[in-house]
Amino acid sequence: AIATREALPEGVRPDTFKRHLDACTRCPIGCRATQGVPGEGPMTAPVMIVGEQPGDAEDLAGRPFVGPAGQLFDRCAQAAALPREKTYVTNAVKHFKFTPRGKRRIHQRPDAGEVEICSWWLDLERQWVKPRLILAMGATAALALTGSARDITRRQSTLEATRDGTALLLTTHPSYLLRLPEGAARQDATARFIADLAEAARICT
Ligand code: URA
């Protein structure tokens, strides 16, 4: 349930973004996480990459895709000749949602209401960057950008559009690849993910 719906802050700029995110309590996730995790990359990036939400490592570092999923993403991006530093990398939801279990913090998927509330920040980033292509990694990013929760596996590698008409390439989330047992299925899924990243790379170069 959404605890608070505060008025949206005015005058958020790229240089004040992190401060505003840190102060955001518009949904319960923001109240519990360590800090907000803004997107990262040039404001002129032709490609924007959108994940789900910061994980444990990102919540501590304050940077997107630096933990295990981020490291896999980096390896796949390299294989696809997609230079991460030329892209703008962000998440649909800007705070880490988890349940504590002992000393561990177990990832929880943000619900549709939280995704909707947080899309205000993503929309701002999209206005700043104005990417030619957005790569949506996983169901949460797809939901945030299209409003549709239709099965992501059926939509992978297809082009859709955001509600305001930006080209959107859908792909899987690297965490999904990490959860697959090692073997042929994981290899195939990884190859397909790399092919999607290569498609995005064609726009970057
Ligand atoms: N998973 C995501 O979706 N985003 C991150 O930043 C890290 C892991």
Tens digit of each residue's pLDDT (9 = 90 or more) over 131-175:
999 999 999 999 999 999 999 999 999 999 998 999 999 999 999
Q: Is residue 6 pLDDT above 90, yes or no?
A: no
Distance 10 CA to ligand 1 centre (A): 27
Taking alpha carbons only, the member of 202, 180, 167 closest to residue 72 is 180
Enumerate the H helices of 23-85 as residue ranges: 28-32, 56-61, 68-79
Q: What is the pLDDT of residue 26?
A: 86
Give the Å distance between the CA of 184 and the centre of ligand 1: 24
User: What is the CA(97)–ligand 1 centre distance, in A?
Assistant: 11
Instruction: Give the number of the atom of ligand 1 that is nearest the alpha carbon of residue 63.
Output: 6
**Predicted confidence (pLDDT) per residue in 23-58, tens digit:** 998 888 888 899 999 999 999 999 999 999 999 999
pLDDT of residue 11: 86
Count of CA atoms in the C-beta half-sphere (13 A) of 153: 3
DSSP conformation letters of 96-115: --EEEETTEEEE-PPPHHHH
- Ligand 1 first shell, C-beta below 6 A: 51-55, 58, 64-65, 67, 69-70, 91, 175
Q: How far apart are CA 195 and CA 189, in angstroms?
A: 10
Which residue in the block uniquely carries the two structure tokens 């790379």?
A: 201
Mutational pocket test of ligand 1: of 90, 93, 108, 175, the residue with most ligand atoms within 8 Å of the beta carbon: 175
What pTM does this model have? 0.95
pLDDT at 199 over 70: yes
